[in-house]
Amino acid sequence: MSDARGHGATLAEKVLSRASGLDHVVPGQIVEGSVDLAMMHEQGAQTVAPFHQMGAVKVWDPDRVVIAIDHWVPASTEGAAVLHRILRKFAAETGLTHFYDVGRHGICHQILAENGWVVPGDLAVGTDSHTNMLGAMGSVSAGIGPTEMAAVLALGRLWLKVPPTIQVRVRGSFGKGVTAKDLVLRVLGEVRTTGATYKAVEFTGPTIRGLSMPERFTICNMTTEMGAKTGIVGPDEKTFEYLAKTAKHPMHPMTADSDAQYERTIDIAVDGMPPMVACPYSPDNVRPLTDVVREHVKVDQVFLGSCTNARIEDLREGAALMKGRKVAHGVRFIVSPASTPIYDQCLHEGIIETFTDAGAVFTNSSCSACFGGNMGILAPDEVCASSSNRNFPGRMGAKEARIYLMSPAAVVATAIKGEIADPRELL
Amino acid sequence: MKDVIEGRVWTLGADVDTDQIISGKYLTIIDPDELKKHVFEIALPEFAHEARAGDIIVADENFACGSSREHAPQAMRAIGVGAVVADSFARIFYRNAINLGIPTVEARGVHAIFEKGDTARIEMTSGRVTNLRTGASVSFPPLPHHLLDLLEAGGLVEKVRRELEARAAGGSPP
C-alpha cells in the first residue's frame, strides 16, 4: 500500500515504524525504538558495570529480558566462571528470572527461537552478532554491545538508523544434498561481507515460503556475515505454527508492501545450484563445493554445530549420512547441538549413538568450537570443515588455521572421507 | 570531544575482523588494562607495545566486522586511541566505539592517503581528514547530531546517567 511517499514500506521499515511509534519511517532516519526483547549471553557480564554507572537500579521490564549463557558452558576457565557469576548475581538483584543456566542452557539464539521469545513484529536486540537469526520470525533483530545493552535495560529503547533493505528473491527447488546453508553461502558470495552493512536483508519468493523455520533461521543467521543489521522473512503459517505453543508475548505480524522500495533486488534461482563452500579466510570467499572437492583438501577437524546449523533437523540429516559409516582415520569430528532440548531429542532418537559409534565426539550444547575460545581449538596450519558461520583468520584458534564453511550434510561427508567432500556422493 | 583531533597514524587493511582485534581466547577478560595487552594481536602485533595515547587508527573497508564483542573498542579506549577512521565500519563496532566515547569517523578513501607513522588531523564538525605529512585530505559527512551529542557527553553511560538523573529530578530529559 502506497503512502504519501508514493511507494510502500519494506518489512524492516514497518517493524521499525511500530517500534518507534511513527506512521512511517524512511531509510537513513534516526529513530528511538522501543525494545520488545533483550537478550544477553556471557558478554552481558560487561553490561553490569555500565548499568550501575548510569545510576540505573531497575530493569525496564524483567519479562522482556532473557539471559542465556552459551560460550563457555559449563565454565571451562576461571574467567568464564566469573562472567557467569556476575550474571547470576545481577539477575538475582534485578529480578531477571528468564535465565537459561547450566542444565537448561543452549545457544542464545536457539533459546530465543525455541521458547518463543521473539515473535513477528518485534524489535529484538542481543549482545551477540548473530541475533540477526531471529529476523526469521518477521522481526528486526540486531546485535548490540554490552554498554548499549545497559542503556536498553535501563530505558527499554535504543536509537536506530532505519536501514535500507536489500531484497533477496529466491525461486526454484533445491536439488538433492543442497540446503538452505548452500543458499545463504551463495547469497554471501554475491553480497559479500560489506554488501549489506547497516542494511536489512529481506528474503522473499516461493523458495523462501517453502523453507521450514529452522532453514529460515540458518539464512537469517548469516546475514550477519553480510554486515546486515538484520535478516528478515515475512511471517506466514509456518511462523505461526512454530510459535503456536511458545509465543511469550503478543504478535504484530506484518509483511512488506507489494510496492515497497528496495535498495537492490537480487534474484536467485536455486534449480541446479550445487552445494557451496566458503573457503579461507572469509565467509564471502564462496565457491561451488565440486570445485574444492577436486583439490583434495585434507581436514584435521570437522565441526557440526553453532547457531547457524545445529538444530535437530541438521543433526538428523547428519546422522542419516553417518549411519553405518566411520569418521576417517586422523579426523576429529565434533558434534554440538544448539540447545539442551535438542541434545535430549538426539538422545531419544539414537542420534548421539550414531555419531559416537562412528568415532565422533558428541558434546553438550554450547557455541563449542565455533569461536576458538572454549574447545575444539585449531593448531597452526590445521584445516577444519565447519557448519558454522565465520572463517576469518584466528576464528577457531591459530590464525594460520584454515576453515571451510559448509552445510551439515557436507561436513558429515567430509568427516567420512577425510577431505572436503560432496554429500551427494553418499546419497 | 575535541573538534580537531591530531595523532600519529597506524594503518590497517580491509575486513580486519574482531578476531584479529581481540581473539576469542581473551573474551573472558573484562579488565580493560589486561585486554589492551592483546589488542590487534593478529592484525598488528606490534601495536599493543608501541601504541601511545592519542594515536589514530586508519583502516580500509569493513573495519571490525564479525562479532559484537565490545572488548575490541574497550581495549582501544584503554590504550587511549584518539580516533578510529575507516573507509567503512561494521555496524556493531561503530555503535560500540561511539557508545564508549571514541571518535569514530567513516571517510571514504581515507586509507589510501595514509602510511604508518603519518600524522592525521581530523576536523569533526566540518568533516575533513588530512594527512599533515603529504597534505592529502578526504572529506566525510559529519556525524549526525545524535551521535555528536553522544561523543560530547563522553559516551552512552554519561548520556543515560544524565537522562536518569533528570528523570529522577522530575524534569524532562536534556
What domains does chain B contain, in order, with CATH numbers? 4-142 (3.20.19.10), 144-174 (no CATH)
Choose between B162 and B174: higher pLDDT: B162
Q: Does ipTM come in above 0.85?
A: yes
B8: CB partners within 8 A, 6+ apart: B52, B54, B55, B56, B117, B118, B119, B120
Nearest to A56 among B20, B92, B164 (CB): B164
Instruction: Give the residue from A200, A194, A191 showing the smallest Cα distance to A234.
Output: A200
pLDDT of amino acid B174: 47
Distance CA B103, CA B94 (A): 10
Domain ranges of chain A: 11-267, 276-426
Q: Count how many residues are written for chain A.
A: 427
Q: CA B75, B80, B84: angle at the middle one, nearest 5?
A: 80
Phi, psi of B7 (to 5 degrees): -175, 165
Chain A residues with CB under 8 Å of B78 CB are none
Query: Alpha helices, DSSP H only, in A28-179?
Result: 45-53, 78-94, 108-114, 146-155
The single-letter DSSP state of residue B116 is T
Chain B residues with CB under 8 Å of A30 CB are 144, 146
Chain B residues with CB under 8 Å of A56 CB are 160, 164
Instruction: Give the residue from A26, A22, A15 showing the smallest Cα distance to A263.
Output: A26
CB atoms within 10 A of CB A216: 26
- B93-122 pLDDT, tens digit per residue, is 999 999 999 999 999 999 999 999 999 999
CB atoms within 10 A of CB B134: 11
Nearest to B96 among A82, A147, A393 (CB): A147
B150: CB partners within 8 A, 6+ apart: B98, B99, B101, B156, B159
Cβ of residue B78 closer than 8 Å to a chain A Cβ: no
A199 → chain B, closest CA residue: B91
Selected from 3.30.499.10, 3.90.380.10, 3.10.20.90, 3.20.20.70, the CATH number assigned to the domain covering A11-267 reads 3.30.499.10
- Closest CA–CA distance from residue A427 to any residue of chain B (Å): 35
- Closest CA–CA distance from residue A305 to any residue of chain B (Å): 17
- B10-46 pLDDT, tens digit per residue, is 999 999 999 899 998 899 998 999 999 999 998 999 9
- Closest CA–CA distance from residue B133 to any residue of chain A (Å): 31
Phi, psi of A110 (to 5 degrees): -70, -40
Q: Average pLDDT for residues B148-168, to the nearest whole number?
A: 94
A353: CB partners within 8 A, 6+ apart: none
Cβ of residue B61 closer than 8 Å to a chain A Cβ: yes
Q: How far is CA B93 from CA A86, A146, B80, in A?
A: 24, 11, 17
HEC profile of B33-96: HHHHHHCCCCCCCCHHHHCCCCCEEEECCCECECCCCCHHHHHHHHHCCCEEEECCECHHHHHH
Q: Average pLDDT for residues A358-371, to the nearest whole number?
A: 97
Phi, psi of B126 (to 5 degrees): -85, -20
Cβ of residue B60 closer than 8 Å to a chain A Cβ: no
Distance CA B53, CA A154 (A): 32
B31 → chain A, closest CA residue: A46
- A161-220 pLDDT, tens digit per residue, is 999 999 999 999 999 999 999 999 999 999 999 999 999 999 999 999 999 999 999 999
Pairing of strands A37-40, A65-68: parallel
Q: Average pLDDT for residues A304-316, to the nearest whole number?
A: 98
B155 → chain A, closest CA residue: A147
Nearest to A147 among B20, B99, B161 (CB): B99
Instruction: Give the residue from A214, A205, A259 showing the smallest Cα distance to A234.
Output: A205
Chain B residues with CB under 8 Å of A55 CB are 161, 164-165
Using DSSP, state whether A45 is helix, strand or coil: helix
Cβ of residue B70 closer than 8 Å to a chain A Cβ: yes
Contact A418, A358 (CB under 8 A): no
Q: How far is CA B2 from CA B96, B121, B152, in A?
A: 19, 11, 8
Distance CA A137, CA A43 (A): 24
Query: Strand A99-100's sheet: what is its strand order?
Result: A99-100, A65-68, A37-40, A123-126, A140-143
Whether B1 shows a pLDDT value over 80: the answer reads no
pTM of the model: 0.95
Pairwise CB contact (< 8 Å): A30 & B27: no
Contact B150, A142 (CB under 8 A): no
Whether A4 shows a pLDDT value over 90: the answer reads no
- A148-174 pLDDT, tens digit per residue, is 999 999 999 999 999 999 999 999 999
pLDDT of amino acid A427: 87
Contact B15, B56 (CB under 8 A): no
Cell 553480497, residue?
A191
The single-letter DSSP state of residue A209 is H
pLDDT band at B170 (very low <50, low <70, confident <90, very high): confident
Cβ of residue B88 closer than 8 Å to a chain A Cβ: yes
Grid coordinates belonging to A256: 512488506
CATH fold of A276-426, please?
Aconitase; domain 3 (3.30.499)
